[in-house]
Structure 1
């Protein structure tokens, strides 16, 4: 695959999976049946850390677009860590949905305490959205690893955007060099 396509694929995949994580937490993760009520628990309640992790993925994309070869490796490690943390946070909330939903159940019933809240719950019905969050975390982790292994093959930035320009002292003047000198804030006629 050409280096430009590797770069584009990676830079587009990271915000895509971050958006998938963000979408999943806005949905209902499970419904808790308590006595005569059904309480819908959204992903923002079930796993509030996921919103910050999704935003970190968006920020990483912006930084990755302008980073050099060494920082691409750092960004790959960070993206892998973000993906692994998304998986861990989503899975931990799914492993004990009653404890995760305890504050909502307490607000709705007025009953507090871990054992008391657990005794009130008749049934917990999971939706597919927690699994979407886990999947987006796995995909984010894989993109981070892909970035680690392909970052050295990405094209390097061209020299025309570098601030330092090296010129030979006795080089003849030309119109492009004069414009560059003016852009740098120096007078080209003083050479």
Structure 2
């Protein structure tokens, strides 16, 4: 009987750390609809003009204050749409910088050829700026999706550890004094279009 109790006690002692670790690992997650979020009024999926108008309104500037970069004739965007398209809109002043990146819509839409795929917003780093930025982000976007060093929101947080998001998640993340929102659906559609276009049957 003594041997049995000793063996049972040892088994419990060995198992307890693993039970505790499992309980600690099973952190709660909170999926959110990031496509409903905006940065300075800009949402993923917006057209070029919608994004430009939102930026003008947010910063109280005219369109002349927002620079644009167009695709080159050899770039995929031009190949898909048939014409050069605006790929980036940028507003920059006194260390504050916002960039809106676009991908071609697939299938091609002549009346609305480009869609916002990524938005970044950054202010100069100071310890106070980082603290204020974090507080403002939490106030605007609410409960984060998973545990992370910096606030992170996504529609597919990883289960179990509660850390990070699935690779195909629509994601909003903050690092230091920078916000980045990214919707991979537009990039994935462009990649698939080109893969299908370049698909070739070997003839050897």
TM range (shorter): under 0.3
Give the structure-2-normalised TM-score: 0.23
Q: As a proportion of its length, which structure holds more strand?
A: 2
Give the structure-1-normalised TM-score: 0.24
Greater relative contact order (Cα 8 A, min sep 6): structure 1 or 2?
1
Bigger Rg, which one? 1
